[in-house]
Every structure is written in structure tokens, then in C-alpha cells.
């Protein structure tokens, strides 16, 4: 899953692809680099970011989604927590709704997924939009994520979202300590066993916890850590890897797959 941030304040690319033209060019490059899915986001979730009004978020993502859907044969994901944005994106051609709140902010997102038959990514996070990254860490992160998945899946089921539409995401970097991020990657297999009918998505690309291992490097210099996290995640069962650096990740995971095939 290649990331296309249509925002002026992304932590990783600083608004480089904020204009629709640049976003489309970036999408084309990600596809050429080997992306299987494009994730279009119009609201930054970096620490300290501000909530974007619904109309503004729609104005950011819908033109990009429409143009990508017209030009390319690739599944499109919209990264949003708002049902109004999800609906507009689905009408424009999005196939997947990627909800970082796991239906906590607006459970109407699930109704949109059911109505359009869209894929639905349910991510673990805690707190409201402004406090997601500043929550006091829980004692048992595996139990916390597992409990939240049960909650989110129950809401999705109530809105008639079928099981085969749902992907789960442990929410790397959202209110977790460095140790807990590592634990989630290391013990992903445990969660996979407990929720075996659902594919798992991991988004560790360029996250700040990786920078701590790399001397506090800025996001664009965290590629080695991002590749290591992606390799471990796939080894432990992740089916979808959400990344900024598609070409390098595809090449790295080709080696991981070749090794796993020997088991």
C-alpha cells in the first residue's frame, strides 16, 4: 500500500504532494514502483496536527481519487475517520476505507463500507484526534489491541459489514511506547491467531520509534528501520504493508518471501 498524502502538514513529506497534480504524479510513480494499493489521505495524523473540516478534506481527496480511478487500474483506499468523506470518496472511486479510529470517531463509516461493499481497515488507537499520540500507555498492549478489535468488529457487524471486507491494523506509533511498538511487531502472530479470518495491515513506515534506533534521524532517513519493520511484519503474518518507499520495500519483501518459501 503506497501512501499519497494530500496534506500540507504530513510528518513524512511536508506537503510535497499537496496539489492534485503532484499527488497524481506521485501516485503514478508509486504504481511504477510496485504498489498494489494506493492510500489517499487528506488529514495528517502526526502529533500536533489539527482536525480538518469535512468539506476541506473532501476537496483535498476527491479530485485525486477521481483522477487516479480514471487513469489507473489499482485499488484506492481513502484514509479518513469521517463518514461524509468516506461516502464522497467511494462515489469518486475509492474501494477501501482506512479508519485510524477503528470506528470510534464516527461509526457511520461502517455503514458506508456496507453500502458500497468497500474494504474497511480498522486500526487500534486511543483518545480523540488531538490526544491519540499522548495517551498514557496501557500495561498490556496485546490485550488492549485485542479487546479493541473485538469492539470495532462488533460495530462493523452491527452495520452489516461482512467479515471478508475487514482488515485489522494494530496502529503502530499511535499512543504506544517504543517497546510496545516492538512488541506488537514481534508478537503479531499471536494476534493473527486470535483474529485469523482477517488480513492484517502494518504501517510502521518512517515512524518516530524507528528514528530512535537511527540516531533521531528525520523521517526521510528512516528507510533502514522501515524496511526492517516491514520484513518482520510480513514474516509474522502481515498481508498489507503501508509504506512511503514502495520500490525499496517491494524489493526487500521479495527476499523475505523467498526465505519464507523454504519453510
The DSSP output letter for 114 is: H
Pairing type for strands 119-123 and 38-41 reads unpaired
Catalytic-role residue among 151, 207, 221, 251: 207
Beta-bridge mates of residue 96: 77, 119
- Residue 49: CB atoms within 10 Å: 17
Whether 187 is a known active-site residue: answer no
Sheet hosting strand 166-169, strand order edge to edge: 2-5, 38-41, 76-79, 96-99, 119-123, 166-169, 200-202, 240-241
CA atoms of 188 and 138, how far apart (whole Å) = 17
CA atoms of 76 and 65, how far apart (whole Å) = 7
Catalytic-role residue among 67, 242, 251, 257: 242
Whether 104 is a known active-site residue: answer no
Residues near 17 by beta carbon (within 8 Å), at least 6 away in sequence: 4, 5, 6, 23, 25, 26
Catalytic amino acids?
207, 242
Amino acid at each position: 500500500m503506497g501512501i499519497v498524502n494530500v496534506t500540507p502538514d504530513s510528518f513524512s513529506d511536508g506537503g510535497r504532494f499537496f496539489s492534485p497534480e503532484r499527488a497524481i504524479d506521485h501516485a503514478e510513480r508509486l504504481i511504477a514502483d510496485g504498489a498494489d494499493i494506493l492510500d489517499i489521505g487528506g488529514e495528517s495524523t502526526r502529533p500536533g496536527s489539527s482536525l480538518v473540516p469535512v468539506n476541506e478534506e473532501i476537496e483535498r481527496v476527491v479530485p485525486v481519487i477521481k483522477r487516479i480511478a480514471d487513469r489507473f487500474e489499482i485499488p484506492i483506499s481513502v484514509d479518513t475517520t469521517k463518514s461524509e468523506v468516506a461516502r464522497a470518496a467511494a462515489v469518486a472511486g475509492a474501494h477501501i476505507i482506512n479508519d485510524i479510529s477503528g470506528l470510534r470517531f464516527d461509526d457511520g463509516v461502517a455503514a458506508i463500507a456496507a453500502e458500497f461493499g468497500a474494504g474497511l481497515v480498522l486500526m487500534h488507537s486511543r483518545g480523540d484526534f488531538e490526544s491519540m499520540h499522548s495517551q498514557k500507555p496501557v500495561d498490556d498492549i496485546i490485550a488492549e489491541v485485542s479487546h479493541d478489535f473485538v469492539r470495532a468488529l462488533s460495530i462493523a457487524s452491527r452495520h452489516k459489514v461482512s467479515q471478508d471486507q475487514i482488515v485489522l491494523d494494530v496502529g503502530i506509533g499511535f499512543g504506544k511506547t517504543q517497546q510496545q511498538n516492538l512488541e506488537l511487531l514481534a508478537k503479531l502472530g499471536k494476534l493473527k491467531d486470535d483474529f485469523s479470518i482477517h488480513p492484517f495491515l502494518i504501517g510502521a513506515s518512517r515512524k518516530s520509534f524507528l528514528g530512535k534506533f537511527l540516531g533521531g534521524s528525520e523521517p526521510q532517513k528512516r528507510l533502514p528501520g522501515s524496511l526492517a519493520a516491514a520484513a518482520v511484519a510480513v514474516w509474522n503474518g502481515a498481508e498489507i504493508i503501508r509504506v512511503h518507499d514502495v520500490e525499496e520495500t517491494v524489493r526487500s519483501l521479495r527476499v523475505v518471501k523467498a526465505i519464507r518459501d523454504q519453510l
